[in-house]
């Protein structure tokens, strides 16, 4: 398991315990009342539990939370191992759990060993741990938690935990998430000898207790983020990216998977990209016939040797120039200068073009006399820009307030219809396209990306409906990556 992913999981749990993943709502009430319910419900108080002093507190918690000792809020039982030398104790009757059987933060459904009914009577007094019980290891592998999906018993390195209040299993599920973290945290960890807790140190573990309603929200948020970490960990590319440069590389890997059709399902009702391609071609022919676009030279046919990977059967490989028209920007005349005075004619430079957007913090303008000569070299909000000199290959859209702005000669605009704008931006940002852009950039003199080379870029082209689903899926995943990046950066 990757150390980086382990660090992410620890960071998520730490944020949860410090109330940084959930909001405190007035209607939740106060954990003080919850602890009072627990106290009143106990038959007798646990005398092994120490008072909590200011020195014991691990970190700040919200005002409506409370610190409590583990032994105050649960009953727990330590298991047994029947003598190995007694053959009559080992058989096929009752599941017997060792730490090796315990899935981490998951449901336990089977065990490698079982004991006989005789051992169950003589060594366990017929006391079973029922399905749904939370168990935790407290020796060697300290803090591993599982929930029983079967009735079973367990060995002496494991405790079975019964929260004294467990409405809808809320307390159980909360403890299952936080005990792996808290049993190895701060002063608690200093008390562990030989990586082993004992009944005394277990009783005196301190636990931050939110109201039950917030416990449920914490569990939901932890599970949501842990799934994201698990998904990232399953990908070798994602792990490599985590080690190199978390956000950029992970996002690049997700874009690449999206362009291979691996993030979305292909649905029959989407139709075929071949039909969409015919529609796009017909629209371009109409514009040419109306004099709104120039007829372009035929693009080279795509050969089998060029195709880098397989795509779904209803997608098509196309040249970018088949689905977009590429038009250049315009340099301002020699001897003329831009101005910061708002003349009504914004001039977008490469320095204004950031990652998928245009910054207006240092926007400059052209005067009316300059505008007259370059007025047709504009870019609209429906287009996409691509930088072709300086920082080459940066793409994005134009904000509505800059619709119709003049465009620098160091960028081109992509004009299209019947293609999803956001999908096209993500496609152009993906490694499959960015690598081609790198290869296609002129290396002699000042690097430059020519229009004909942009038109020749090889693009995996899905049906329009799937383009939109790809955008939705990527937006959701990118948001999760941003959350986890914030967590790991903070840690």
Per-residue model confidence as pLDDT tens digits over 402-421: 999 999 999 999 999 999 99
The pTM score is 0.53
Could you tell me which CATH class the domain 3-222 is placed in?
A: alpha beta
Please give the average per-residue pLDDT across 439-443, as a whole number. Answer: 83
| Choice between 158 and 54, residue whose per-residue pLDDT is larger | 158
- Specify whether the CB–CB gap between 300 and 456 falls below 8 A: yes
Q: C-alpha distances in angstroms, 5 versus 218, 234, 254, 389, 480?
A: 20, 10, 17, 38, 14
Four-point Cα dihedral 148, 140, 491, 232, nearest 10: -50
Q: What is the mean pLDDT of the chain?
A: 88
| Choice between 187 and 269, residue whose per-residue pLDDT is larger | 269
Q: Please list, in sequence order, all residues whose beta carbon lies within 8 angstroms of the beta carbon of residue 213, skipping any fewer than 6 positions away.
A: 25, 27, 28, 29
Assign 17 a pLDDT band (cuts: 50, 70, 90): confident
Res. 423: pLDDT tops 50: yes
Assign 190 a pLDDT band (cuts: 50, 70, 90): very low
List the one residue out of 210, 129, 137, 218 whose CA is nearest residue 180: 137
- Specify whether the CB–CB gap between 399 and 423 falls below 8 A: no
Q: Which of 37-46, 59-68, 374-383 has the lowest mean pLDDT?
A: 37-46
What is the layout of strands, in order, in the sheet containing 405-407? 364-365, 346-348, 405-407, 378-379
User: Tokens for 115?
Assistant: 């004991």
Q: Identify the pLDDT of residue 70.
A: 92
Res. 259: pLDDT tops 70: yes
Helix (H, G, I), strand (E, B) or coil at 398: coil
pLDDT tens sequence across 381-397: 999 999 999 889 999 99
Q: Which of 81-90, 295-304, 418-427 has the lowest mean pLDDT?
A: 295-304
Burial class (CB in 10 A: 0-12, 13-18, 19+), 490: exposed
Q: Identify the pLDDT of residue 6.
A: 79
Domain with CATH 3.90.220.20 in the chain: 3-222, 269-462
User: Tokens for 293?
Assistant: 């676009």
Res. 3: pLDDT tops 80: no
Q: Identify the pLDDT of residue 187.
A: 42
Q: How far is CA 109 from the centre of its chain?
A: 29
- Specify whether the CB–CB gap between 153 and 124 falls below 8 A: yes
Which residue is listed with tokens 């080279």? 300
Q: What is the per-residue DSSP string for 436-469?
A: HHHHHSB-SSS-B--HHHHHT-EEEE--HHHHHH
List the alpha helices (DSSP H) in 81-124: 117-124
pLDDT tens sequence across 352-366: 998 889 999 999 999
Q: Which of 4-8, 158-162, 265-269, 419-423 has the lowest mean pLDDT?
A: 4-8
Res. 480: pLDDT tops 90: no
Q: Identify the pLDDT of residue 2.
A: 62
Assign 488 a pLDDT band (cuts: 50, 70, 90): low
Q: What is the per-residue DSSP string for 27-75?
A: GG--HHHHHHHHHHH-SS--TTPPPPPTTT--S---TT-EEEEHHHHEE
Assign 20 a pLDDT band (cuts: 50, 70, 90): confident
Please give the average per-residue pLDDT across 293-314, as a whole number. Answer: 90
Report which listed range, 138-147, 284-293, 444-453, is most confident. Answer: 138-147
Q: Angle between the 464-490 and 3-17 helix axes, to the nearest 10 degrees?
A: 80
Half-sphere exposure of residue 377: CA atoms within 13 angstroms, side-chain side: 21
Half-sphere exposure of residue 279: CA atoms within 13 angstroms, side-chain side: 12
* Dihedral sign from CA coordinates of 383, 387, 393, 396: negative
User: Tokens for 290?
Assistant: 């109306």
Q: Which of 34-48, 172-186, 323-337 has the lowest mean pLDDT?
A: 34-48
Q: C-alpha distances in angstroms, 184 versus 134, 140, 250, 317?
A: 18, 12, 30, 53
Q: Identify the pLDDT of residue 1.
A: 45
Q: What is the CA radius of gyration of the chain?
A: 31
What's the CATH code, domain 269-462? 3.90.220.20
Q: How many whole angstroms separate alpha carbon 191 and alpha carbon 138?
A: 13
For 340, phi then psi, to 5°, come to -85, -5
Res. 238: pLDDT tops 70: no
Assign 191 a pLDDT band (cuts: 50, 70, 90): very low
């Amino acid at each position: 398991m990757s150390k980086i992913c382990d660090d992410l999981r620890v960071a998520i749990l730490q944020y949860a315990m410090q109330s940084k993943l959930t909001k405190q709502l007035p209607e939740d009430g106060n954990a003080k009342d919850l602890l009072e319910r627990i106290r009143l419900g106990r038959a007798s108080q646990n005398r092994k539990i120490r008072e909590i002093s200011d020195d014991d507190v691990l970190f700040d918690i919200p005002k409506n939370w409370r610190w409590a000792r583990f032994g105050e809020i649960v009953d727990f039982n330590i298991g047994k191992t029947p003598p190995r030398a007694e053959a009559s104790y080992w058989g096929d009757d009752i599941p017997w759990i060792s730490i090796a059987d315990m899935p981490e933060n998951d449901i336990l459904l089977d065990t490698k060993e079982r004991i006989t009914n005789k051992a169950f009577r003589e060594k366990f007094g017929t006391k079973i741990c029922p399905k749904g019980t939370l168990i935790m290891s407290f020796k060697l592998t300290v803090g591993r938690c599982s929930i029983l999906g079967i009735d079973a018993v367990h060995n002496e390195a494991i405790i079975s935990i019964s929260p004294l209040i467990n409405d809808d299993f809320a307390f159980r599920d909360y403890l299952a998430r936080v005990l792996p973290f808290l049993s190895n945290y701060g002063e608690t960890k200093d008390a562990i000898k030989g990586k082993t807790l004992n009944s005394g140190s277990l009783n005196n573990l301190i636990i931050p207790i939110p109201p039950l309603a917030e416990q449920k929200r914490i569990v939901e948020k932890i599970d949501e983020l842990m799934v994201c970490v698990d998904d990232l960990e399953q990908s070798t590319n994602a792990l490599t990216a985590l080690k190199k440069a978390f956000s950029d590389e992970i996002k690049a890997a997700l874009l690449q998977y999206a362009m291979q059709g691996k993030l979305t399902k292909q649905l029959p009702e989407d139709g075929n990209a071949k039909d969409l391609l015919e529609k796009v071609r017909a629209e371009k022919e109409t514009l040419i016939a109306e004099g709104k676009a120039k007829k372009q030279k035929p693009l080279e046919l795509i050969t089998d040797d060029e195709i880098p990977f397989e795509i779904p059967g209803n997608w098509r490989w196309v040249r970018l120039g088949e689905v977009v028209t590429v038009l250049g920007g315009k340099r301002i005349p020699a001897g003329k200068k831009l101005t910061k005075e708002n003349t009504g004619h914004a001039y977008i430079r490469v320095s204004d073009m950031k990652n998928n957007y245009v910054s207006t913090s240092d926007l400059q303008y052209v005067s009316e006399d300059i505008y007259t000569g370059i007025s047709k070299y504009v870019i609209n909000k429906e287009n996409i820009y691509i930088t072709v000199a300086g920082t080459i290959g940066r793409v994005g859209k134009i904000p509505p307030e800059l619709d119709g702005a003049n465009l620098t000669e160091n960028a081109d605009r992509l004009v299209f219809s019947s293609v999803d704008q956001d999908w096209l931006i993500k496609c152009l940002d993906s490694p499959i396209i960015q690598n081609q852009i790198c290869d296609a950039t002129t290396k002699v003199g000042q690097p430059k990306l020519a229009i004909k080379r942009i038109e020749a870029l090889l693009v995996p082209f899905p049906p329009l409906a799937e383009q939109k689903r790809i955008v939705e899926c990527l937006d959701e995943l990118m948001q999760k990556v941003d959350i986890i990046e914030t967590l790991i950066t903070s840690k």
